[in-house]
Amino acid sequence: MTTDTATPPGPGCALRPAPIVDEADGGRIDLAAALARAALPPGQGRLAVVAMSGGVDSGVSALLLREAGYRTVGINMRLFTPDEGHSRCCSIDDMEDARAVCRHLDIPFYPLNMEREFVGSVIEPFVDAYLAGRTPNPCLECNRKPKFSFLLGRARALGAAYLATGHYARVERRPDGTALLRRAADERKDQSYVLYTFTQRQLGRILFPVGALTKPEVRALARQHALPVAAKAESQDICFVPDGDYASFVLGRRPGAARPGPIVDPGGRVLGEHRGLIHYTVGQRKGLGVSAPEPLFVMELDTARNRLVVGTRRQLGFVALTAGAVNYIAGAPPDGPIPILAVLRYQGQELPATLHPLGGDRARIAFADPPRAVAPGQAVVFYDPADRTIVLGGGTIEGAERLPGGE
């Protein structure tokens, strides 16, 4: 999959927090300062369940909750068993790492088998979306259903006041009882893009203890408190496709799904043959196997006619998109058009745009400057242009409108 590259925050970025390193104590991280930065609700012996992935972020989250006075319980979700090879998360090794962290912190640990829910709500829709010519985001669906629907329900059944995870994002609780979802303090690790599906009721019960810390600070806390996962590498790929070969994974579950067909330009002229539409995504440039005077990009996956439509950079401009399954974190949709910053990819660029509610859970997003790639199936997430750290909501891209004449 192709992604836009986000511009890293500059030296004056307002999100970058003041250091919490105690130079007088050999450069150690000040735990009290880290807890103050995390701004967790008072623990007071209340129960908090931590989704323990076996990684350093969830391990430090559990540490911070324990130190904040919560009765902390770790739960590891067994989500996927690969047929062969090694998954980079959700493996037996990850479960044992999570167990070791809980043992080290002297908190209870419970494994939870949620593979059936994960396959039904994440993997099968992922495969079906690829076959329909869309580019799905399984991490978003995993957060929407197994993690923050099923698991939150289990946590509440245990009597927990909160469910916590190691995601890099922040929740701001306002005096009127509403909650805001904000970007993480460390924008290089920010995961707010895949968290826009929260309702107010859910967000009020969610904690992101490491969201106000930087990744180096999290690592330092883990080393300082001798967590067994302090030096563990983090996963960069989809957990059930550890080698990043999405097409092979889809073919393994739907043999024969990759049918060769024509590669055509916007006018329908045949330029070559593709290997099966599941091998491509909108905006892709490399690996098309077509020679042309100037670079060609994927414009459309025409599943009805099994055609791959390609064009030049000038023909790629998208002026607007339509989104479905739109969620507004505040609860109600806006009364009319509002300005937003739209993000179309994880860690993608912010695009000035106008959101037009279409009724129900649909919206039209019109761009000030046409982006190069708008991939149906991906998420479009809305940020507040007046305060770009605030997530307003988001939805799933259904389709897009191009510049008239493709120019």
Query: CA separation (Å) from 63 to 39, 49, 206, 233?
Result: 14, 12, 16, 19
Percent residues over pLDDT 90 in the chain: 60
Q: Check residue 206 and give its pLDDT.
A: 96
pLDDT in tens, 144-165: 888 888 889 889 999 999 999 9
Does residue 239 have an active-site annotation? yes
List the domains of the chain with CATH numbers.
21-224 (3.40.50.620), 258-315 (2.30.30.280), 318-406 (2.40.30.10)
Alpha helical stretches, state H, 230-348: 246-253
Concatenate the DSSP letters of all residues of 84-116 into one string.
SS--SSSSHHHHHHHHHHHHHHT--EEEEE-HH
pLDDT band at 14 (very low <50, low <70, confident <90, very high): very low
Query: What is the pLDDT confidence band of residue 33, given thresholds at 50, 70 and 90?
Result: very high
Cα dihedral angle (357, 358, 361, 365), rounded to 10 degrees? -60
Q: Which of 90, 102, 139, 239 is catalytic?
A: 239
Residue 376 to residue 281: CA distance in whole angstroms: 9
Task: Give the residue ranges of DSSP H helices in 176-265.
Answer: 200-203, 215-224, 246-253
What pLDDT shows up at residue 316? 82
- Tokens describing residue 332: 């109600």
Q: What is the mean pLDDT of residues 208-217?
A: 96
90 flagged as catalytic = no
Q: Among residues 348, 349, 364, 366, which one has the least CA distance to residue 398?
A: 364
pLDDT digits (tens, 9 = 90+) for 244-292: 778 888 888 888 888 999 999 999 999 999 999 999 988 899 989 898 8
pLDDT over 60 at 238, yes or no? yes
d(CA 229, CA 55) in angstroms, rounded, equals 6
**Candidate from 75-84, 266-275, 286-295, 392-401 with smallest mean pLDDT:** 75-84
Confidence of residue 69 (pLDDT cuts 50, 70, 90): very high
Between 136 and 194, whose confidence is greater?
194
Judge whether residue 407 has pLDDT over 60. no
pTM of the predicted model, to two decimals? 0.86
Residue 82 has pLDDT above 90, yes or no: no
> Which residue among the candidates 89, 102, 139, 142 is catalytic per the annotation?
142
